[in-house]
Amino acid sequence: MGSSDAQLMALRAGELSPAGRRQVMDLLDVVHRLERAERDTGPEE
């Protein structure tokens, strides 16, 4: 998932209710943490 996907999701979050926006932001936070973890550990192969 590229940063353009994250930006698109963030833009769409603006159209959601506060609760829905909160869920999207939590999801993005998880995605960012996973991407960081993948970069830190390097390719698994």
- Domains of the chain: which residue ranges? 3-41
**Percentages helix, strand, coil for the chain, rounded to the nearest 5?**
80, 0, 20
Largest interatomic CA distance in the chain? 41
Burial 25-39 (b: 16+ CB within 10 A, else e): eeebeeeeeeeeeee
**pLDDT tens-place string over residues 1-45:** 567 887 777 777 667 788 888 888 899 999 999 999 988 887 666
pTM to 2 decimal places: 0.52
